[in-house]
Structure formats: C-alpha cells, structure tokens
Structure 1
Amino acid sequence: MKTNRSPVISNGLVILFALLFIFPFYWIVTGAFKIQTVAVAIPPEWFPLEPTLQNFADLFKNPVWRWTFNSFFIASCEMIGVCLAASLAGYVLAKKSFPGRVIIFTLFVAAMALPKQVILVPLFTMLADFGWVDTYHGLILPAIGWPFGVFLMKQFAQTIPSELIEAAKIDGCSELRLFYNIVLPLLKPAMGALAIFTFINGWNDYFSQLILTRSTPMMTLPLGVATLQGEYTTPYGVLMAGAAIASVPMIAIFVLFQKSFTQGITMGAVKG
C-alpha cells in the first residue's frame, strides 16, 4: 500500500523554515540575559546558564521610555494616517471616473519603485525650510502618502460591487456616508493588512529617523538603541535587550490585526 509522503515533506519543510525564522528572535531574547563575555563566547552558549538582568538595568539608564513612546506614537500616527488616506485614495481611483485617473495611478505605481534614499535629500531640504526637522509632524506627515498603501487599497476597492454603490446612491446616500457605512467596512481586511505593514515600516524606519532627528529626546527606540554602541566596544547584551523590547509592540500589533491580515492577504486569491 502506497503512502502519500507529500504532507509529511511539506509539514517538515514548514517546521524547518519556521525554526529558521524564529531562531534570530530566540537568540536576541536569550542574549539579553547574558553577560558580555558569554554573549560573545565561542562556542556560543545556546541558553544562558547564569541569566542576569544587568543588561536591562544598563539599558534603562538611558531615556528608553521616551524612545519607546516616540516610536509607538510615530508608528501609530503613520498607521492611522496611511490607512485613512490610502482607503480614500484607493476608493476614488477604483470607483470614480475622472480625467487623469490612469495617469495618477501610474504615478503611484512608479513611485513605489523609487528608493527612499532618492527622495530623502529634497525631503530634508523641504522639511528644514518648514522648520519641521526634529519634530513629530516632520517624521509622520511625509509617510502618510505611502504609494504602496494607495496601490493596495485600490486593488481591493476594485472588488467592491459597483451595483452596491449605485444602490446606495439611489437611496440618497451622500458620498461621505457611502464611504463610511458601506465602503469602509468592506475594506477592513485590507486595512488590517495595511495597518500591520505601515506600523512595522514606521517602527523600523531607522534611516529616515536618523536623518530627520537631532536631539536625544526625539530619538526613536531603534535609533536610541543603536547609539549605545561604543567606538571601541559593543555591549551586545544591552543591544539585545533593547532589540527584545523593540520587538514587543510589533508582535502585539500583528496579534491584534492577525485575523484581518490573513483575510486581506487571501481575499484577492479567493476572488481572483
């Protein structure tokens, strides 16, 4: 009797890749409880035999709570702003007919191909002219017009039946009420996926935050932790403690929006 080995092989590969992706996080968490000599020891100590909290004590000698608040506030504002702006723009580009619609959408798609480093110099010059360098709005507002967000929401808005929108208009529904009561609930799975992408992108946007911040109180958590690296020595245990703390909000956001994220990723494949 023949046995089907495909599920066994596929499950084994899934478990193997899952372990490979989880291992860096495991190494960061365990490294946060190791002293410096153990953290850099060769061969490595796979599990801290003498765990210590000294790395966290050294870490919190710095304004970590302020850095954490900055990261959470900036990433959350970007998430809300991108989801709102992208859902409005995506709905208009998908369901409204007006001159230049195709050109505008093409520009959004073309903007996705531009590396952030290309626009950072003119962006910094513009923000400096406005006096927005080293400010919250200077870090948040440029990220709200994220081309990928508009592209994603436009693709999902196309799946909304036009007959449903027309029926709402016949019933006397205004544009804002139509968007808020009908379109927005149908876009929630896509907004859940976009919320996760935006929050992680804003939380990990080290390069832009490095250029646009000047003072220590305005630093974000990834940027602040990076400054703890010395010129001649690197406190790996302290850095791993900071990285472990920095990973907690991203995990929480993913767990919070996990259902919407899964629906948003799979909806296009099911309907396609």
Structure 2
Amino acid sequence: MKAISPVKMKKENDGRGRPKWFRDLSAFKIISTIILVLSGLFFLFPLYWIVTGAFKSQVVAITIPPEWFPLNPILDNWVILFNNPVWRWTFNSFFIASAEMIAVCFVSATAGFVLAKKVFPGRKLIFIALIAAMALPKQVILVPLFTMLADLGWVDTYKGLIIPAIGWPFGVFLMKQFSQTIPNELLEAAKIDGCGEIRSFFHIVLPMLKPAIGALAIFTFMLSWNDYFSQLVITRSTDMMTLPLGIATMQGEYKTDYGVMMAGAALASVPMIIIFMLFQKSFTQGITMGSIK
C-alpha cells in the first residue's frame, strides 16, 4: 500500500483536517442538488403511479388512503387491454407520429434555411405570417380544416392525419433561428468549390442543424402522439384510431376502470420515453445552442 506523505496530506486537507472534496461542497451545491433530486422525484411520481396502478384491481385503485405499492399485483388489466385492437392502435400512433416527425423536420429545415439565408421579395412578410400563425390555436382552424379534408376525401385516412401537420409554423421558426447561426462564409466557400444548392444543403447545412433537428423531432413526435383532439375529429373507424384515442374509448359512461386506463397510459408512454432517450443528446444541444457564442 502506497504511503501518503505528510506534505501531500496537508495540501489535500484544510486547517481543520477536512478533506478537499468536503470543502468543495458549498452550501449552493448542496441546496441545488437537493432541489434537483426532489424535482426529479416529483416529476417521476406520476409515471410511477401509472405503472403501479396498472397492476392494481379496481377496488385497490380507488382506495383511500391509497396503496402506494401493489401488495397483490394482478394482470387482469393488461388482459382486458389487449382484448381490444391495441396493437393496431399502437401501429397507427407510431406510424402517424413518425411520418409527421420526419416530414416536419425536413420541411422546416428547408423552409427555415431559405428564410434565413436567401433574399427574395416577400421574405419578411412570410416570416410575419408564420409568427401570426403560431398565435392561432389548433381548435380555431379545425372546422375549416375538417371541411377541406372532407372535400378531398381524406377524412379517416392517414393522409388527413399526417399532411395537415407538416407545415408547423413553430418548426419553421425554430429552424430559421438556428440557420441564422450558420456562417455565410462557409456557404460561399462551398459554392466556390462547385457545390450546388442541394448538395450544400444536405452535406453542410443539415449536419450543422442536427441539434435543432433533434429537438424538433422530439417536440413533433410528442405532440403528434398526444394529439387527441384532432385525431378524435378526423378519425371515424376503430381501425384508424390511435392509441390515446382508443384507450379513451374504453372509458365507460357510468364507470371507469382505472386499472385498465393506467395500463393503457403506461403502454402509451413507452414510445415517447424511447424517442426521448434516442434524441436526448441532440435535444440538450438544441435547446442550449444559442446560449453560448
């Protein structure tokens, strides 16, 4: 065992004999760590309650005081859940959310780059219209949107659920703000080297927009996955229902089986958690990219 010299020990300890790592723990670090831990537990508790509630019977689920952990877990809720076309609903949700995510990211990246780096008549007017469109809630445009979809014959179809969401004003605005950080000299150098517009966009612009695209992908997927209201209006048949919509239809008029509902909610949360874990690094870089010059 290697001995520690008294001189080195004196450097690592303060005058009171406390180690260096202890002196580095300031009051601010201790308080901030406690706050972060408590905040994390606070936001994770609903997920914990949903997962544990999926294994409780109806009587136990509504018991006061609540049973914090299922002492007698059951699988009846999952059996009842999968007696419905849950896999079809899950496929619909995943397909719609993935298609919207890919389309929104591509269209927003191209439109945002053009608004940020290209000069053409009406550019400022288009940007003002995008900002104004961001202020409109989706419920305001839902009636004329449904009328258009009905005229096109897109009600209760994948096209009616995916295509209207592609032109998301927030996505274009986000990509425009990030595209402005791309140096013009870099694009000019690529043009001098013989790189065309399309090649320059795919090989230079898109890699530099990767953090922003990761953040936008998470936002788009989550919004599409939880877009209950629009899906309720546009869909008609059971086979076209998404997972949140299908789970909501399992709620009775006079009785709600909370165990089955929690099992469905737990199943619906899995894809969102997976998507966030896949794009977590890009999402963190995307929301902090503009804070450092």
TM range (shorter): over 0.9
Match of 1:4 among 3, 26, 31: 26
Match of 1:116 among 129, 135, 138: 138
The aligned amino acid for 1:41 is: T
Paired residue for 1:268?
290
Q: CA RMSD in A?
A: 1.0
Paired residue for 2:262?
240
- How far 1:16 moved relative to its partner? 1.2
- CA distance, structure 1, for counterparts of residue 256 and residue 292 of structure 2: 49
* Correspondences of 1:63-212 after superposition (within 5 Å): 63-212=85-234
CA deviation vs aligned residue, 1:136-195 (integer Å, no higher than 9, x gap): 010000000000100100000000000000111111111100101110110111000000
SS at match of 2:236: coil
Match of 1:38 among 35, 41, 60: 60
CA deviation vs aligned residue, 1:202-256 (integer Å, no higher than 9, x gap): 0000000000000000000000000000011101000000000000000000000
Whether 1:227 and 2:263 are equivalent positions in the alignment is: no
CA deviation vs aligned residue, 1:28-49 (integer Å, no higher than 9, x gap): 0000000110001111000000
SS at match of 1:134: coil
- CA distance, structure 2, for counterparts of residue 100 and residue 129 of structure 1: 31
- How far 1:10 moved relative to its partner? 1.2
- CA distance, structure 2, for counterparts of residue 219 and residue 199 of structure 1: 17
- CA distance, structure 2, for counterparts of residue 63 and residue 218 of structure 1: 11
SS at match of 2:45: helix
The aligned amino acid for 1:261 is: F
- How far 1:106 moved relative to its partner? 1.0
- CA distance, structure 2, for counterparts of residue 35 and residue 173 of structure 1: 64
- How far 1:4 moved relative to its partner? 3.0
- CA distance, structure 2, for counterparts of residue 109 and residue 27 of structure 1: 39
The aligned amino acid for 2:196 is: S
Paired residue for 1:21?
43
Whether 1:59 and 2:73 are equivalent positions in the alignment is: no
Greater Cα radius of gyration, structure 1 or 2: 2
- CA distance, structure 1, for counterparts of residue 258 and residue 78 of structure 2: 12
Match of 2:279 among 246, 257, 264: 257
TM score, norm. by length of structure 1:
0.98
Paired residue for 1:48?
70
Give the unaligned 5+ runs of structure 2. 1-15, 17-22
- CA distance, structure 2, for counterparts of residue 242 and residue 147 of structure 1: 31
- CA distance, structure 2, for counterparts of residue 20 and residue 207 of structure 1: 28
Give the unaligned 5+ runs of structure 1. none
The aligned amino acid for 2:125 is: I
Equivalent pairs, count: 271
